[in-house]
Structure 1
Amino acid sequence: MLIGYMRPSQDDPTCSIQENLLNNYSCQKIFIEEHSSAKRRTQLDHMMAHLEPDDKIIVEKLFVLADSTRHLVELLEQIDEKGAFLCTLKEGIDTSDERGYSFKAIVHHLAAFQSDVISEKTKQGLYEAKQKGITTGRPRKPDENVKRAIVMYESKKYSLAEIKAETGISKSTLYRYLEN
């Protein structure tokens, strides 16, 4: 049986992209998570519990299925124990293909997967911070320190190291303010 699995992400919050891809594969059953959280993945648990030999799970990409490299390894072991297979559309992985993959390809896919994990968690964190009204990014230097650093620099009595020690304003930050 072809089994599709989807879960929301920052780039596909309604799973519409994943749904379009899975519809092309004529999945007999599709499991859809209601949230993107790594916890309480009830549909994933249900799907894994009911896998039969020769079933094939189809996902858009590895990150849809797993939240970390360790989680991916655990899921792959469960899939293998049940005699089932995994197909990822983005990475082009199909564990039912007996030819296997080169080590280089495997490492490349794992690196891309880890990058997806980090990217998704960063996007989620930024989104949550924005919802709470928290300003993201590097904090700006206090204006009085910048003004004092400029006065010190223009007096030509202080070295850049002394200005930085006194005000906490780096050379690059000072030059950036001087250009404006």
Structure 2
Amino acid sequence: MNQKIGYLRACSVNNKTDSQRESLKFAGCDLIIEDEEKEPQPFSLCLETLKPGDVLVVTSLEMLGRNLAGVLKAITSITERGASLISLSEGLDSSSESGEPLVRMCHLLMRCQQALVLKKNQKGLMACRARGRLGGRKKKLSQKDITQIKELLSRPESSVSDVAKKYGVSRTTIYKYVGVIVPEHAL
């Protein structure tokens, strides 16, 4: 049986949801899901509840995400599940004739947003490379440090743990850069 599911979350400064709840009840929602703003993915519980043919009702599209990309992603997720969306304040009904082109437009905007982010990231990487920088963290140990570590580890009184502490790195880092060194007296 198809359900009319209301979704609300506290997204304003006063965090009151009473007016949203009343609007969703008035819209005839069978179930109302309320998410906490603190949740890392506040909309995920609602998405898990949606089944094909269900209708999700929100008081405003801003309930679907914290930014435009989040809203577009939510609309895409809703329609991919075979559900439709009604936004009360915007007068949007994705199952109506006028709503379908809007949903397609949202899909196009989502792809456009992704392409813009990708292009921005690529430009940033190219600019860094032009300045002689590569991605990733700086190396913990210089070539000089590695030479000194090899020399220290060749002594019988040195241990990997002591050397790692001295250079402020883990034992794993020492093994990664230097490998296993057997002191000469052990041979």
TM-score, length basis structure 2: 0.49
1:86 aligns with: 85
| Letter of the structure 2 residue corresponding to residue 40 of structure 1 | P
Shift in Å, 1:40: 2.0
Gaps in structure 2 of 5+ consecutive residues: 110-187
For 2:67 and 2:12, locate their aligned partners in 1 and report how far apart those are by CA, in whole Å.
17
For 2:99 and 2:22, locate their aligned partners in 1 and report how far apart those are by CA, in whole Å.
27
Does residue 56 in structure 1 map to residue 58 in structure 2? no
The within-5 A match list for 1:22-41 is 22-35=24-37, 37=38, 39-41=39-41
The within-5 A match list for 1:9-158 is 9-10=11-12, 13-35=15-37, 37=38, 39-42=39-42, 44-100=43-99
Q: Deviation digits for residues 126-176 of structure 1, max 9, x if unmatched?
A: xxxxxxxxxxxxxxxxxxxxxxxxxxxxxxxxxxxxxxxxxxxxxxxxxxx
Q: Deviation digits for residues 35-85 of structure 1, max 9, x if unmatched?
A: 3x5x5244x212202311111110110111211111112111111111101
3-state SS of paired residue (1:98): coil
CA RMSD of aligned residues (A): 2.5
For 1:21 and 1:57, locate their aligned partners in 2 and report how far apart those are by CA, in whole Å.
13
Moved >4 Å (runs of 4+): none
- Identity rate, percent: 27
TM-score, length basis structure 1: 0.51
Shift in Å, 1:11: 5.8
Instruction: Please say which structure displays the higher CA radius of gyration.
Output: 2
Confirm or deny: 8 A CA contact 2:53 2:84 kept in the other structure. yes
| Letter of the structure 2 residue corresponding to residue 90 of structure 1 | S
Confirm or deny: 8 A CA contact 1:56 1:84 kept in the other structure. yes
